[in-house]
Amino acid sequence: MAATLKLNTDGSPVSMIPLSTMSWKEAILQLILDKVVVLEWHEDWIVRSVHWETRVPAVVILKEYEKRKATIRWSKQNVFLRDGYICQYCGVDVSRKDATLDHVLPLSYGGKNTYENTVCSCGKCNSTKGNDRSIRPKKMPIKPTYHQLVAEKRKLSAVDDRIHPIWTKYINP
């Protein structure tokens, strides 16, 4: 888990997809360079040197606005997020570790890694479909907007054990 959540000057995360974080070392460096203001500290995490010690920041806000990216890239995780970790063939909730990526038009038939050709699938359905081009998902996939992915991310972040509890009030306002 990254140690520090990075917020823009408006108080929202610089990015939700992926969530804008920085390493604890970078957070301390940014603090020393006076580029961030610490909003929350990790209460039980202190770093020390010979002449200095500090708690590690849990949440920082930038002093200068950082422009957000306008586009989202295709990735397996973003496809799972778009589909809400639900198998697009049988409709079953799929755990993060059991989710598989399925190509509607298989790669062997010229299918591509695009939002319009990939769906979240459970292992059983993915195995059953194999290279069969005639089996179609219940809902044909589309390219999501940034805001659609952020909405799905917010739904899932409430139960995400990789999100630090302090971060939730900044991610889900």
pTM of the model as a whole:
0.71
- In the prediction, which pLDDT does 161 show? 54
Phi, psi for residue 120 in degrees, rounded to 5: -80, 140
- In the prediction, which pLDDT does 90 show? 94
- In the prediction, which pLDDT does 68 show? 80
> How many CB atoms are closer than 10 A to CB 66?
12
- In the prediction, which pLDDT does 56 show? 93
- In the prediction, which pLDDT does 168 show? 80
SS3 annotation, the chain = CCCEEEECCCCCECCECCECEECHHHHHHHHHCCCEEEEEEEEEEEEECCCCEEEEEEEEEECCCCCCCCCCCCCHHHHHHHCCCECCCCCCECCCCCCEEEECCCHHHCCCCCHHHEEEECHHHHHHHCCCCCCCCCCCCCCCCHHHHHHHHHHHHCCCCCCCHHHHHHHCC
- In the prediction, which pLDDT does 158 show? 55
Third-level CATH fold of 76-143: DNA Binding (I), subunit A (1.10.30)
Length of the chain: 173
Please report, for the chain, the start and end positions of each structural domain, with discontinuous segments joined by +: 4-69, 76-143
- In the prediction, which pLDDT does 142 show? 94
Phi, psi for residue 100 in degrees, rounded to 5: -125, 155
Average pLDDT taken over every residue of the chain:
89
Q: Report pLDDT digits (tens) over 104-122.
A: 999 999 999 999 999 999 9
What torsion do the CA atoms of 113, 115, 118, 121 make, to the nearest 10 degrees?
140
Low-confidence ranges of the chain (pLDDT < 50): none
